[in-house]
Structure 1
Amino acid sequence: MLENGYTVWEGASLLDNSPIFLVLTGFVFPTSNRRTGRQIQSWILQQESAPTKAAKEGRDSGACGNCILKMSQINACFVNLLPVNNIYHKQARGTYRKFGANEMAMLERYRYPIRIGSYGDPTAVPFEVWEPIILASKKWTGFTHCWSHCDTRWQKYLMASVHSQSEARVAQKQGWRTFRIIAPDAPLTNNEILCRHTEDDRVQCDSCGLCNGASSKPNIADPVHGLNWKVSNFMKYVNQA
């Protein structure tokens, strides 16, 4: 019987060697996220603390790396961690079955698009764990804040998350396509286009697929969004920078 979520991998984070795990969800009940549409969601979480606790105590580097948006930095992460706690507790109780050959075959058959890193940085988990899942899915979106020091094979599948034009130029010179979070009134550079969902909220990630790593496609920019206080924190950071 098909389950909604599966444990894919458990082990030491490639970012700080702390214990983490990877769970996929959305096989039965699609996400309610209107931006992403029906993508399989993936969650990289610390094993030793619920996400809210790990974020508050600054013990989330195994999952999130050096992301400037996390709570211990500028506190502007767009992810609502309260629902993510449920995934952590289900994993702790052993609710999720192991993702195996049958589930991989199902991905290959139905080509469910996957969101690489709904929470957590994908590069925390070995590339060899991810690639068979990505190839089975055939359609994906993904982002990393660890683009400056991660395995360069990720350039095929992930966008470099950046927050300034100078940072975008550095990442692009290293071979990355970039996804730049911008202020609401900030101009685009000549090699960027606006996120399609921002232009038309009927367009969802599962059908768009522009944020899928290295290709001849343009770089993407998206105005900061989310709770007002998170937007405010991001704007303070941008203005100071």
Structure 2
Amino acid sequence: MANGFVFYRGPSMIDGKPIIAVATGTERGSRNGKTGGGLIQTWILREDMSPVAAVNSGEDASICGDCPHRGTVVSGKNTGRSCYVTVFQAPLVVWKAATQKALYPTLSPVEAGKAVDGRAVRLGSYGDPAAVPAEVWKALLANVSAKAGYTHQWRRFPALADYCMASCDSEADHAAAKAQGWRTFRVRLATEALKPHEIVCPASKEAGAKTSCDACKACGGHTAKARVDIAIIAHGAASKVNAYASLRAA
């Protein structure tokens, strides 16, 4: 039995180019200790090219918009990328399974919602949820137990505030997102203090990994029970942390 399904195939809401959205983990959960094994993952990908090719050509703008972590394309190669997602791993595997091997059935948004009834869902394990129509997310998430979503496109897509946190990479971002009514998830430098009403991500090593994303349920925008904002110190591979520090210094 397939471990997922396609729930959207069509134009990106960001730039109109062809994308595909795939949910995985319906039969076998993730091994990611932070997010938790019970979380349905969703992958937003260019349908017509691999995620590796998209990143190295700049065509990932269709699924990532103007996210500052995308890096810069120089002579067909991406440099200075601070995104934590390693595209030649899970995103490439999912893309091949969906587009090259046709391993996942295609479900309508309503059918997809029934398939994840009572489950916890992450919007955009790779890719920005803004690329997928808001009405598709509304149908998919109609009866889930929890959701976790993050968008760097919060300035353009206010309807996502019900399901997503505004991804913020500076104090100025945080202030602007709060002024527009968003709950926020802010990546900060170790030298930066928490803002009022912010807490450290409870699933992070920084907080002692007190819980997992599927159990925490805080990052679901305005439809989550939580009302606090979330923050985390930049972490992960040294190259990614250094790229983030350079981004902030620019």
Asked if the contact 2:2/2:103 (under 8 Å) is kept, the reply is no
Matches of 1:235 and 1:103 in 2, distance apart? 39
Q: Which amino acid aligns with 1:92?
A: T
* Residue 118 (str. 1) matches residue 117 (str. 2): no
The match for 1:206 among 206, 214, 220 is 214
Matches of 2:188 and 2:124 in 1, distance apart? 20
Matches of 2:97 and 2:115 in 1, distance apart? 23
Matches of 1:140 and 1:237 in 2, distance apart? 29
* Residue 21 (str. 1) matches residue 20 (str. 2): yes
Residue in 1 that maps onto 2:241: 231
Asked if the contact 1:56/1:71 (under 8 Å) is kept, the reply is no
Matches of 1:236 and 1:191 in 2, distance apart? 27
Identity of aligned residues (%): 31
Q: Deviations over 1:80-128 (max 9, x none)?
A: 11121111111112221112566533422xx110001100010111011
Alpha-carbon distance, 1:63 to partner: 0.7
* Residue 80 (str. 1) matches residue 90 (str. 2): no
* Residue 9 (str. 1) matches residue 15 (str. 2): no
* Residue 192 (str. 1) matches residue 201 (str. 2): no
Matches of 1:72 and 1:11 in 2, distance apart? 26
After TM superposition, the score normalised by the length of structure 2 is 0.89
Asked if the contact 1:142/1:213 (under 8 Å) is kept, the reply is yes
Q: Deviations over 1:5-45 (max 9, x none)?
A: 10111001010111001000001111111111020000000
Q: Which amino acid aligns with 1:228?
A: A
| RMSD of Structure 2 on Structure 1 (CA) | 1.6
* Paired residue secondary structure (1:76): coil
The verdict on how the C-alpha distance between 1:92 and 1:176 changes in structure 2, with shifts beyond 3 A counting, is same
Deviates more, 1:221-230 or 1:113-122: 221-230
* Residue 104 (str. 1) matches residue 113 (str. 2): yes
Asked if the contact 2:26/2:116 (under 8 Å) is kept, the reply is no
Residue in 2 that maps onto 1:41: 41
Q: Which amino acid aligns with 1:201?
A: A
Matches of 1:103 and 1:153 in 2, distance apart? 20
Matches of 1:212 and 1:181 in 2, distance apart? 17
Runs of 4+ residues deviating >6 angstroms:
none
* Paired residue secondary structure (2:116): helix
The match for 2:171 among 165, 173, 181 is 165
Matches of 1:127 and 1:102 in 2, distance apart? 16
State the aligned residue count.
Answer: 236
Asked if the contact 2:112/2:140 (under 8 Å) is kept, the reply is no
Alpha-carbon distance, 1:225 to partner: 1.5
Q: Deviations over 1:164-184 (max 9, x none)?
A: 111101110101011100113
